[in-house]
Amino acid sequence: MKNVWIVRGLVTVALAMLVGWLVHSTQWVEIEVENDARGLAATDARYSLRQLLASAGATLELRTSLDPLPPADATLLLDSTMWNIFPERDARLKAWVENGGHLVITGRQMRDGDLRWVPLSFYKAPQRAATAASGAASGADEDDDDGDDVDDVPATRKKPPTGNDDKPLARLLGVKRPARDCADFEETAVTTAPAFEPGRVYRGCTPTGSLRWLRRATPSWQLASTRATLAVRVPVGHGSVTGVSANPVLDNRGLLREDNGLIAMAILQAAPGRAIWIVEDESREPLLAWLWHEARTPFLLACVAIGLALWRLMVRFGPREAVPPQARRSMGEQVRGTGQFIAGSDPQALHAATKKAFEDIVRTRIEHWADRTDAERVAALGAALAPTHTLDTAALLASMNLGGGATPVQILAAIAVLEQARRALLRAPAAPLAN
């Protein structure tokens, strides 16, 4: 009984040590986890933007090409890196803005000399702690008139990792924490037309970069924080261009954070009746779909021809046609077949062979055959065959003296006449005939 109590005591001590180790080695913290999108938001990446624009009375249209351009009073967000694949698009876009259009661009669109007519400069520079107004003023003083030096947008500032990022449990579960890189943005003193009420402070969770305007331009609106400029709007002709230092937050989840929705509406100038176009990367119809829509009949005929060719080349388990039964041909069939072949390939040779066979027989029946003329030969042959056989002397004479220009039909007719005369001689008495 004493041993049982000792075992129970040891087990209790071990459990107490294990619980103490767990309490000392683990940490319980609250983590905000973002819920997955549901409904239309799960399939439409611009669902939140559509709802915001609809509440402001504007409309959203997604395009994959700049052909055609939006209406003259619309807003065009250029979110494509391939918009300038045709050289005339830059000039058309400039004319559209000068006629009253509103263009929204980021630094990645201003490459390879395009959009040089836009009086904005995107450059890489270290961020300095300064007020928005002083930063804007220094940007206007330090810039060049030509604005040729245009760089890409700097990388987004990253938040230093916290200690919880190294927890094995957090890495195992893969929880999604909402980003917290937020700042306060204000419309600076250069703003002549505030987006909403004057003096409003916008709490935005959006990346920023380095952006300034050229001295030849006078900005009409600017949104900046104490660290960097987010957006600047400058007039171009009768229209305007809004430069955004980094890609604006327009996704479903990002628009719902802090004042990102209001910032997006201010950048896009959403107003009742205004059309908002977003031009994304160029896309074309797949080749097979294009062939079906544009050349359906030739496409189907080509498919049928390819199918028949493949069917003809398939492995077969038997002959393509019935094999004739194997049988020995008679001598007569062999002779007739040979004669038909010679008549089709060289009828003159068949005529010469028939004439020779005819003369070999007639020399044994007509005396002095070699010393006679053709007319005498025919006359002697006709007398020899009479009265059992009536010979057409004119046809026989023509068949014996057939010229080189005779047609195959004439040659075959002459062969028939000579063969009939030869067979008549064979049926005649065997004794030589006198004339």
> For position 158, what pLDDT does the model report?
39
Q: What is the DSSP letter of 190?
A: T
Number of independent structural domains in the chain:
2
Q: Is residue 12 part of a domain?
A: no
CB atoms within 10 A of CB 210: 21
Q: Is residue 228 part of a domain?
A: yes
Q: Is residue 76 part of a domain?
A: yes
Q: What is the DSSP letter of 109?
A: G
> For position 103, what pLDDT does the model report?
92
> For position 434, what pLDDT does the model report?
45
> For position 198, what pLDDT does the model report?
86
> For position 24, what pLDDT does the model report?
84
CA atoms within 13 A on the CB side of 431: 3
The pTM of the whole model exceeds 0.85: no
pLDDT tens digits for 101-148?
A: 999 998 877 776 778 888 888 875 444 433 333 344 334 433 443 434
Residues 268, 350 within the same domain = no
Q: Is residue 330 part of a domain?
A: no
Task: Give the residue numbers spanning the domain of 181.
Answer: 39-155+176-279
Residues 121, 264 within the same domain = yes
Q: Are 48 and 251 in contact (CB under 8 A)?
A: yes
pLDDT tens digits for 382-426?
A: 887 777 777 787 888 888 887 777 888 888 888 888 888 888 888
CA distance 350 to 418: 11
Does an H or E element contain 211, and which? strand 211-213
Q: Is residue 352 part of a domain?
A: yes
Residues 265, 342 within the same domain = no
Q: Is residue 15 part of a domain?
A: no
Residues 192, 61 within the same domain = yes
> For position 276, what pLDDT does the model report?
92
Q: Is residue 315 part of a domain?
A: no
Q: Which residues pair with 223 in a beta bridge?
A: 187, 231
Q: Which of 244, 279, 314 is the last residue of a domain?
A: 279
Does an H or E element contain 102, and which? strand 102-106
Residues 360, 245 within the same domain = no
| Residue 142 CA from chain centroid, whole number | 48
Residues 184, 265 within the same domain = yes
Residues 111, 239 within the same domain = yes
Q: Which residue type does 227 have?
A: R
List, for the chain, all residue ranges whose pLDDT scores fall below the cut of 70: 1-2, 112, 124-180, 283-284, 329, 429-435
> For position 395, what pLDDT does the model report?
84
Rounded CA Rg of the chain: 52
Residues 110, 240 within the same domain = yes
CA distance 324 to 294: 50
> Residue 84's domain is classified under what CATH number?
3.40.50
Residues 272, 131 within the same domain = yes
> Which residues 6+ apart lie within 8 Å of 170 measured at CB?
31, 164
Q: Is residue 212 part of a domain?
A: yes
CA distance 399 to 374: 11
